[in-house]
Structure 1
Amino acid sequence: MSNVVHMQAEASKLGRRLVRWAAAMALAAVASAPVYAEGAEVVHVVARGQTLVRIAQRYRTTVEAIRQTNGLKPGELLKPGLHLVIPEKGKEAEAAKRAAALHSGKPESAKKGAEAGKGSAAGKKNEGKKKDAKALAAEARNRKPATYAQKPKRPGFVRIVRGTEKLEAQLITRGGRLVPSALPGVTRMLRHTASNAKIPIDPRLATLLGMVSDHFGGRTIHVVSGYRPVTPTQYTKHSNHNVGRAVDFMVEGVPNTVVRDFCRTFRNAGVGYYPNSTFVHMDVRSTKVYWVDYSRPGEAPRYDSPVAQAAADEAAGDVDNAPGAVGAPGPEAKKDGSPTSVPQDGGSNGTHPPPSQPVDPTTGNRSSQAPGR
Structure 2
Amino acid sequence: MRSAPFLAVLAATLAAFGGYALLLPVLPLWAAAGGSGPGLAGSVTGVFMAATVVSQLGVPALLRAVGHRAALALGALALGLPAALLPLSPSLALTMPVAVVRGIGFGVLTVTGASLVSDLVPARIRGRATGVYGIAIGLPQLVLLTGGVWAWSRLGPTTVLLVGAVLPLLALPAMLLLPRRVVPAGLDPAPDATNGPFVTGEGDERPGGADPAGLRARSAAGPWLVMLVCAASAGGVITVLPLTGASASAAVALFALTIAQLAGRAASGELGDRFGLAGRVTGPALAITAVGAGTAAAGLGTGTSWVVVLGAGLIGLGFGAVQNDTLVTLFDRAGPGRSGTASSVWNTAYDAGTGVGATALSAVLGAAGAPWSFAVAAAGCVLALGAAPWRRVHDDPASG
TM range, smaller chain = under 0.3
Query: Highest relative contact order (Cα 8 Å, sep 6+), 1 or 2?
Result: 2
Q: What TM-score, normalized to structure 1?
A: 0.26
Q: What TM-score, normalized to structure 2?
A: 0.25
Task: Kindly name which structure, 1 or 2, has the bigger radius of gyration based on alpha carbons.
Answer: 1
Q: Tell me which protein shows more strand as a share of its residues.
A: 1
